[in-house]
DNA sequence: ATTGAAATTAGCGATTG
DNA sequence: CAATCGCTAATTTCAAT
């Protein structure tokens, strides 16, 4: 959580960022073509984005349904403070939990869970409930996902900037 | 939504899938080294995973906080059926909505929203509410994200398979 | 297995503060 | 003058046929 010295990204940095959010496997040469920069210059900029923690990694996007995970659910979870604080570590042992966020408010955490069937989902929920007696859950079945992990863009950033008036 | 003919992925396919979920920028040669396969063989397997819809893309993972988006929130949204059905298209015009899932149950949808400040979050919520009078929201502030987009792994798949007994 | 392209390193030149 | 940035060139590695 330390401050970086370079909070300003120019138009080409944003172009690279957007291109890599769209397709993380683009090579430096091709990126350079899009952005009108040589491959080494692109590599340099991308490295700076990585080192500044703006880009934290590159991931293949996998469709769970195609692997047999027909169920996608969001699980609202309530529990006592002591357990809450450890929920991140605890759910590491439950691989069907793909996301885990701790929340302010009534719900302590919100999980995204995938399962191969309702029966499977049931066993995952049982496993979560058995972690501690203070835990209770509310399960919301995802019917469809119109948007997942949309890109952060420069135009979006600009609009927010002008909103904040500075 | 059509069925593919090849529901069986072997150990090497899984290794490739896991490697690419960890680092989508690995080249075929390096993947081949990890998996003990030639580069062309790797390329073919990856292409098959893509064509089967198991891998749907490759994305750079961006940390919104590093771009000034200090607020991360989950927004539960309720609305009438007619609007609900269109919610995916509607929130396309609200770039701060990074995820949008339609749900079964009381809440019609669950959004993930990023914002640069509480004021900014307020304007985003106002924008959502102005879409239609029937819309109401509940906003949950994310305090931390212990896990985001965890990988789907072969050991996880195996365990689920044995659970389902077939 | 071969051929063309891409990544990487190093060194140089231009621009800026 | 120092620092930053991007380019070319040359070697090695990779991708694709």
Distance, in Å, from the CA atom of B58 to the CA atom of B21, rounded to the nearest integer, reads 9
pLDDT of residue A133: 96
Instruction: Say whether A99 and B145 touch across the interface (CB within 8 A).
Output: yes
Which residues from A are below 8 Å from B110, CB to CB? 74, 140, 142
Phi first, then psi: what are they for A128, rounded to 5°? -65, -40
The answer to whether some atom of strand D lies closer than 7 Å to the beta carbon of A45 is yes
User: How many residue pairs bridge chain A and chain B with CB atoms within 8 Å of each other?
Assistant: 241
Mean pLDDT across the stretch A33-40?
Answer: 98
Angle, helix B11-22 to helix B154-163, in steps of 10 degrees:
130
Number of H helices, E strands in chain B: 6, 5
Residue B6's pLDDT band (boundaries 50, 70, 90)?
Answer: low
Residue of B nearest to A94 (CA): B156
Q: What are phi and psi of B64, to 5 degrees?
A: -60, -35
Helices B154-163 and A118-129 sit at what angle, rounded to 10 degrees?
A: 100
Please write the tens of the pLDDT for every residue from A66-120: 999 999 999 999 999 889 999 999 999 999 999 999 999 999 999 999 999 999 9
Cβ separation B62–A87 shorter than 8 A = no
Task: pLDDT band for A2, please (50, 70, 90 cuts).
Answer: very low
Sign of the alpha-carbon torsion through A109, A112, A118, A124 = negative
- Under an 8 A CB cutoff, do B142 and A61 touch? no
Rg (CA), chain B: 20
SS3 A132: coil
Q: Which nucleotides of C are covered by protein (CB under 7 A)?
A: 1, 5-11
Question: What does the pLDDT read at residue B7?
Answer: 65
Residue in A closest to B119 by C-alpha? A164
Q: How far is A52 from chain B (nearest CA, A)?
A: 8
At A129, list the tokens. Answer: 């409930």
Measured distance CA(B149)–CA(B147) in Å, rounded? 7
pLDDT range class, residue A158, cuts 50, 70, 90: very high
B3 pLDDT band, cuts 50/70/90, is low
Helix H or strand E encompassing B145: strand B136-147
Whether pLDDT at A4 is above 50: no
The model carries a pTM of 0.95
Percentage of residues in chain B with pLDDT exceeding 70? Answer: 95
B144: three-class secondary structure by DSSP: strand
| Residue A35 and residue A42 in contact, taking contact as beta carbons nearer than 8 Å | yes
């Amino acid at each position: 959580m330390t401050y970086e010295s370079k909070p300003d990204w120019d138009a080409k940095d944003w172009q690279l960022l957007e291109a890599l959010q769209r397709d993380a496997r683009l090579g430096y040469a091709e990126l350079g073509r899009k952005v009108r920069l040589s491959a080494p210059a692109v590599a340099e900029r991308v490295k700076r984005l990585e080192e500044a923690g703006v880009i934290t990694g590159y991931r293949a996007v996998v469709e769970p349904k195609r692997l047999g995970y027909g169920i996608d659910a969001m699980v609202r979870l309530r529990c006592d403070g002591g357990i809450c604080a450890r929920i991140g570590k605890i759910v590491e042992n439950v691989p069907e939990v793909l996301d885990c966020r701790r929340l302010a408010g009534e719900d302590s955490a919100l999980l995204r869970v995938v399962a191969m069937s309702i029966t499977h989902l049931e066993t995952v929920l049982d496993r979560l409930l058995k972690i501690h007696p203070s835990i209770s859950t509310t399960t919301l079945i995802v019917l469809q996902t119109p948007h997942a992990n949309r890109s952060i863009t420069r135009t979006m950033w600009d609009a927010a900037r002008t909103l904040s008036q500075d």
